[in-house]
Structure 1
């Protein structure tokens, strides 16, 4: 009787997946939504404090965008979709290294 075959495991591939950078949800400035509404969405959806929500809203307003979340790609895509559902412009990008 022969021993069970052992699968080849590519250790480098598993390490590179674990070491992959996080992803970001980015909210972009738009000509439609009021600043107070953007701040409200950040507080309601993400649970940010009033101060943090206003800081991010001002970054969107003055800099054109703000990173509102960072983590696994799937979660960032859910956040971006939620922002779309609120009427905000949002995208997902790989976090800079």
Structure 2
């Protein structure tokens, strides 16, 4: 019986650690959204200043993607949902 309890505790601990590990919010280039709109969304969702928002927008435009935020999975999932609500092509990935 002690083994089953230890396994449950270890599984919960691993799940909690996985949630605390950093996750990247990635925005991908798409042929639909205008650059000014993408920059505006970054300012609205993340509170970025115009310069930082424009830098990420240009990276999306030129490199095809930009890691716009890194942090806990729970908050990253929230940002992904907000960006997708603004019609941006967005994904969540673990840093390499």
For the aligned pair, the TM-score class normalised by the smaller chain equals: 0.7 to 0.9
1:45-71 deviations in Å (ceiling 9; x for gaps): 111011000000000000000011111
Gaps of 5+ in 1: 1-6
Q: Equivalent residue for 1:55?
A: 55
The offset of 1:21, in angstroms, is: 3.7
Say which SS state the counterpart of residue 69 (structure 2) adopts. strand
Q: Equivalent residue for 1:25?
A: 25
The offset of 1:17, in angstroms, is: 2.2
- Cα distance in 2 for partners of 1:39, 1:17 equals 33
More helix by share: 2
Q: Equivalent residue for 1:39?
A: 39
1:11-42 deviations in Å (ceiling 9; x for gaps): xx56x928x64101000000000000000000
- Cα distance in 1 for partners of 2:90, 2:37 equals 15
Q: Equivalent residue for 1:79?
A: 79
Q: Equivalent residue for 1:92?
A: 92
The offset of 1:95, in angstroms, is: 1.4
TM-score (norm 1): 0.79
